[in-house]
Amino acid sequence: MSRRSVRKFFGGSPPRVDKIVVGLGNPGDRYANTRHNVGFAVASRVAKRARADFGIKAADSRIAEGSLGDLKVAIARPQTFMNDSGRALTKLLDRYRLEPKDAIVVFDDVDLPLGTIRIRQSGSSGTHNGMRSIVSAIGEGFPRIRVGVAPAEPREVPDLAEYVLSPFDEDEKAVAEKAMDRAAEAVLVAVRDLARAMNQFNG
């Protein structure tokens, strides 16, 4: 029996949303406040604006469904661990019957200075393992918001994996919080008008 037939048999239908916002991170308390979980933190801020909580467990994700103005949105935090994010995003697109261009992915970027955000309409994965997984699964044609987590002051980072899986230093926290707030604001604009968001936040 096909997935569509199963839904028809049980009288269900896929929820209708206009956009998916996906914040990348790793599940579990161990990773909650690390640099690599910036995407989760931004997703939580967007969910608060949508007056939604992450009460839905589906598509290998925790999902909050709500509204941003007149738009219906699904805000997701994949639970697959970062390196397998593409599997969750594939299932999310299938669940909501949307195309990659209808998803906005938010993630940490160690190649951007702390406090910086950048929005792109599409592109390669760069050095980010979660993005590599997503691009491998659905291609490059989806918008993304990169949130910089590189040290504000250049310094030697001997182990990149250890660096991104560690919390922000005390003197970085205020800048990081401001950047995550700004990234959430960028999402609110981007779900309606990506070009406007790029003009407004890519300065």
Averaged pLDDT in 10-residue chunks for the chain of 203 residues: 42 79 96 95 98 96 96 97 96 96 96 94 88 96 96 68 90 95 98 97 87
Q: Is residue 134 part of a domain?
A: yes
Residue 150 in any domain: the answer is yes
128 catalytic residue (yes or no) = no
Residue 94: the pLDDT is 95
pLDDT (0 to 100) of residue 46 = 98
Whether the CB-CB separation of 158 and 91 falls below 8 Å is answered with no
The three-state secondary structure class of 37 is helix
Domain assignment present for 3: no
Catalytic residue among 36, 45, 144, 146: 36
pLDDT of residue 29: 93
Q: Residue 89 sits in a domain of what CATH number?
A: 3.40.50.1470
Long-range contacts: 96-101, Cβ < 8 Å, 24+? 96/14, 96/15, 96/16, 96/17, 96/20, 97/14, 98/17, 98/19, 98/20, 100/138, 100/139, 100/141, 100/142, 101/141, 101/142, 101/143
9 within a domain of the structure (yes/no): no
Total domain count for the chain? Answer: 1
pLDDT of residue 10: 40
Assigned domain for 1 exists:
no
Cα separation, 82 vs 91, in Å, equals 15
In a domain, 112, yes or no: yes
Residue 158 lies in a domain: yes
- 128 found inside a domain: yes
| Residue type at 15 in one-letter notation | P
Burial 110-119 (b: 16+ CB within 10 A, else e): bebebbbbbb
Which domain, by its residues, includes 161?
A: 14-201
- CB neighbour list of residue 163: distance below 8 Å, 6 or more residues apart: 35, 110, 157
